[in-house]
Amino acid sequence: MPEEKQFLPDIVDVNQPGLKFEIKNFAEIKEALASILAQYKDFKLTDYGEAKDLRARLNNAAKAFNTKKIAVKKAYMEPYEYGENQIKELIAMIDEASSVVDAQIKEYEENMKKKKKREEVEELFANFENPRQIPLAKLWNDKWLNAGTSLKAIEKEITAFFEKVESDIVNIETLVADEERRTMTVKLYVEYLDMGRAISEEKRVYELTHAPKPEPAPAQAPVQEETPKEEEPTTEPAPAEPVEEFYLSISGTKSQLLEVRDFLKSKGLQFKFERK
């Protein structure tokens, strides 16, 4: 069997670990500290000022030990932290690539779960009595594919849907008396799954197809050509009467004389109207 190729080269340590951190006179300090502290095990406060001074000295001693620890740790950690940061940088590079692969794996797994869930829902739906042949797409709900939605809950929704369909159809059959119109309304309801819309649409189509036909316009009589009228024989005008002149003297009021003048004008007579 061929040897498997190594994924990445091994890490080679440049610096070997140093000597351990050790307090050379630890036993001496421990013994002295135990001797000093022994007298305070049964300490009883007799002087408030001395007690406070004692507490301060004890705290300062502990602080000095801790300061020394921090300083030594920093000196030991600096060489380690340099290599630690290098390793962190390499891990970050790997994590970046790994996150891309991980996201696609999760997406694929999620799609496979949804595909399986859809197949289960389709199988569940196929087991229902469906005399109206209503397709699953008419009532499909994307939330059914969620992991939190159980098949039992989906079955309950589908059951409620079919119960409503049959209830609505019973109402349509009660409301629509005409058999032909009732059949059409049920057909439209199965298409829309909305009883109000189905009834309105059937009514609109019925009124459109059963509207009274317009009465034909009365036939117009054929236009007869007018026969040319016979020209009446023209008669020659009678000879004009000769014009004669008469002199008339009239007396009266001004308004009376004006009425006479107007009368003569209306008759087309020529006259002279002069005051004496």
**Region 212-221 average pLDDT:** 68
Q: How many Å apart are CA 132 and CA 139, to the nearest integer?
A: 14
Q: Provide mean pLDDT across the span 165-174.
A: 94
Q: With respect to residue 236, please indicate whether it lies within any of the assigned structural domains.
A: no
pLDDT, position 100: 94
Helix axes 179-192, 151-175, angle to 10 degrees: 160
Three-class SS of the chain:
CCCCCCCCCCCCCCCCCCCCCCCCCHHHHHHHHHHHHHCCCCCCCCCHHHHHHHHHHHHHHHHHHHHHHHHHHHHHHHHHHHHHHHHHHHHHHHHHHHHHHHHHHHHHHHHHHHHHHHHHHHHHHHCCCCCCCCCHHHCCCHHHHCCCCCHHHHHHHHHHHHHHHHHHHHHHHHHCCCHHHHHHHHHHHHHHCCHHHHHHHHHHHHHHHCCCCCCCCCCCCCCCCCCCCCCCCCCCCCCCCCCCCCCCCCCCCHHHHHHHHHHHHHCCCCCCCCCC
Residue at a domain's end among 100, 118, 146: 100
Residue 217 has pLDDT above 50, yes or no: yes
Is 203 part of any domain? yes
Q: What are phi and psi of 155, to 5 degrees?
A: -60, -40
Residue 269 lies in a domain: no
Amino acid at 73: K
Domain that holds residue 94: 26-100
pTM reported for the whole predicted model:
0.55
Domain count, the chain: 2
Which tokens belong to 101? Answer: 């692969």
| Residues 81 and 137 occupy one common structural domain | no
The last residue of a domain, from among 209, 240, 263: 209
Q: Is residue 192 part of a domain?
A: yes
Q: Is the pLDDT of residue 163 over 60?
A: yes
Same domain, 95 and 132: no
Residue 77 has a pLDDT of 85
pLDDT-above-70 percentage for the chain: 75
Asked if pLDDT for residue 150 goes beyond 90, the answer is: yes
Q: Report if residue 167 sits inside a domain.
A: yes
- My answer on whether 154 and 199 are in the same domain is yes
User: Higher-confidence residue: 235 or 183?
Assistant: 183
Q: Would you state the pLDDT for residue 125?
A: 97
Question: Do 160 and 90 belong together in one domain?
Answer: no
**Phi, psi (degrees; rounded to nearest 5) at 137:** -60, -25
140 and 93 in one domain? Answer: no
Interval 59-112: pLDDT, tens: 998 898 899 889 888 888 888 888 889 889 989 999 999 999 999 999 999 999
Domain boundary among 163, 190, 209: 209
Domain membership of residue 89 (yes or no) is: yes
**For residue 132, how many other CB atoms are within 10 A of its CB?**
15
Q: Which residues contact 264 (CB under 8 A, 6 or more apart)?
A: 271
Of 39-53, 81-95, 236-250, the least confident: 236-250
Does residue 11 form part of some domain? Answer: no
Q: What is the pLDDT of residue 1?
A: 46
Burial (Cβ within 10 Å: 0-12, 13-18, ≥19) of residue 198 = buried
